[in-house]
């Protein structure tokens, strides 16, 4: 998703951008007609594919290979070592890999992610820098009187408190922790709704819980999210936490576990946090916020200001272009 948004913004800024991806991938399909596609499956062996892509880069004048996942980053490291193609690896996860030594620049989505890589891979030095994600304020913005699509979908009243969790349903995202904390919330707010949006499914026994709905994968999150009472991010691990800043940009108060990059996002009053895996603390935070309209409004206001100052596309692009220029020796 980050690559999808970034490519469009770079193109709009006048950069020539190619998408390197498999033809049947989600991003290739969603950008079809917008970006030229360099079809590759990023195989590391045989090296003939690395040579082919390097030749294409020379032919088209491509100066930087900017990778966003482990497989592509391995491929970029080989392009750098074998052919001298400038390579930037974007670190979106806390999983250090040996290939990171060979890139021109490493961009980490949070201080925690960069610290993790530096700890396990000594000698990275000035190659590493933090570049936090951004949110598009045109897509994610406060409801501003728009119809409540979320409660209409849930078929509940306008006064119903709705706590939304967005992300693939898996252990790392912590939906099971939210479920464990939910009965404590219902004791004080029996009409509250807990809504999961994302691919995957919960165990059948959990689906029978009161006030819980699984909406599955949705393409209209930017229309639903502004109407949430609270956005909950209960992750066990989260290098950054894009959903958190999307909610903040919508003027929705965020409750997040104090892990990795999430802790930085909600710090200094931009959201409410609780110790990771502590379901009792999570239940208490949710209960208190659902009872306190003013506290929610304050969190929402600080969070909205934070996104405009720190997570805007303009701030992000200016910093990224500086890294591009330094890698190319233009600064």
Instruction: Encode pLDDT of 141-165 as tens digits.
Output: 999 888 999 999 999 999 999 999 9
CB of 163 closer than 8 Å to CB of 181: no
Question: Is 143 part of a structural domain of the chain?
Answer: no
- Whether pLDDT at 203 is above 80: no
CA distance 259 to 239: 8
Residue 210: pLDDT band (50, 70, 90) is confident
Contact between residue 147 and residue 153 where contact means Cβ atoms under 8 Å apart: no
Shared domain for 118 and 227, answered yes or no, is no
Would you state the pLDDT for residue 207? 61
What pLDDT digit, counting tens, does each position of 108-140 carry? Answer: 999 999 999 988 887 677 789 999 999 999 999
User: In terms of domains, do 292 and 279 share one?
Assistant: yes
Residues 276 and 215 in one domain: yes
pLDDT given for residue 14 in this prediction? 95
Which whole-number Å values give the CA distances from 318 to 89, 95, 325, in the listed order?
18, 27, 11
**How many domains in the chain?**
2
Residues 37 and 177 in one domain: no
- Does 141 fall in a domain? no
| 177 shares its domain with 111 | no
- Mean of pLDDT values over 170-175: 94
Indicate whether 15 pLDDT > 90: yes
Name the percent of the chain lying above pLDDT 70. Answer: 98
Q: What is the CATH number of the domain that holds 15?
A: 3.40.50.2000
* Domain of residue 259, residue span: 149-310
72 with 215, same domain: the answer is no
In a domain, 6, yes or no: yes
Q: Partners of 88 in the beta sheet?
A: 66, 105
Q: Are residues 189 and 275 in the same domain?
A: yes
Residue 255 counted as domain residue: yes
Q: What are phi and psi of 69, to 5 degrees?
A: -145, 170
Q: Is 269 a member of any domain?
A: yes
Q: Does residue 139 lie in a domain region? A: no
Asked if residue 22 and residue 10 are part of one domain, the reply reads yes
Residues 163 and 303 placed together within one structural domain of the fold: yes
In a domain, 292, yes or no: yes
- Residue 144 resides in a domain: no
Helix axes 279-290, 175-188, angle to 10 degrees: 50
């Amino acid at each position: 998703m980050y690559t999808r948004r970034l490519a469009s913004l770079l193109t709009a800024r006048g950069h020539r951008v190619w998408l390197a991806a498999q033809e049947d991938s989600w991003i290739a399909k969603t950008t079809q007609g917008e970006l030229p596609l360099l079809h590759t499956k990023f195989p590391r062996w045989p090296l003939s594919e690395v040579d082919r892509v390097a030749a294409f880069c020379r032919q088209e004048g491509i100066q930087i290979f900017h990778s966003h996942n482990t497989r592509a980053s391995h491929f970029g490291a080989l392009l750098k070592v074998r052919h001298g193609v400038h390579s930037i690896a974007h670190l979106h996860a806390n999983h250090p890999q040996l290939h990171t030594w060979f890139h021109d620049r490493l961009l980490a989505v949070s201080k925690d992610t960069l610290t993790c890589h530096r700890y396990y891979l000594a000698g990275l030095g000035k190659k590493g820098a933090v570049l936090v994600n951004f949110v598009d304020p045109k897509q994610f913005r406060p409801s501003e009187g728009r119809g409540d699509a979320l409660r209409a979908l849930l078929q509940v009243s306008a006064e119903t408190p709705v706590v939304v969790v967005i992300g693939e349903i898996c252990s790392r995202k912590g939906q099971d922790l939210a479920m464990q904390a939910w009965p404590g919330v219902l004791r004080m707010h029996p009409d509250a709704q807990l809504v999961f949006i994302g691919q995957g499914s919960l165990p059948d026994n959990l689906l029978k819980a009161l006030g819980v709905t699984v909406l599955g994968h949705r393409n209209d999150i930017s229309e639903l999210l502004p109407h949430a009472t609270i956005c909950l991010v209960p992750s066990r691990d989260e290098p950054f936490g894009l959903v958190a800043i999307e909610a903040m940009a919508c003027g929705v108060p965020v409750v997040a576990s104090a892990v990795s990059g999430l802790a930085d996002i909600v710090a200094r009053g931009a959201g409410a946090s609780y110790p990771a895996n502590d379901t009792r603390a999570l239940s208490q935070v949710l209960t208190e916020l659902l009872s306190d309209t003013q506290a929610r409004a304050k969190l929402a206001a600080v969070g909205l200001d934070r996104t405009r100052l720190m997570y805007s596309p303009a701030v992000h692009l200016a910093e990224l272009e500086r890294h591009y220029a330094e890698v190319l020796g233009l600064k």
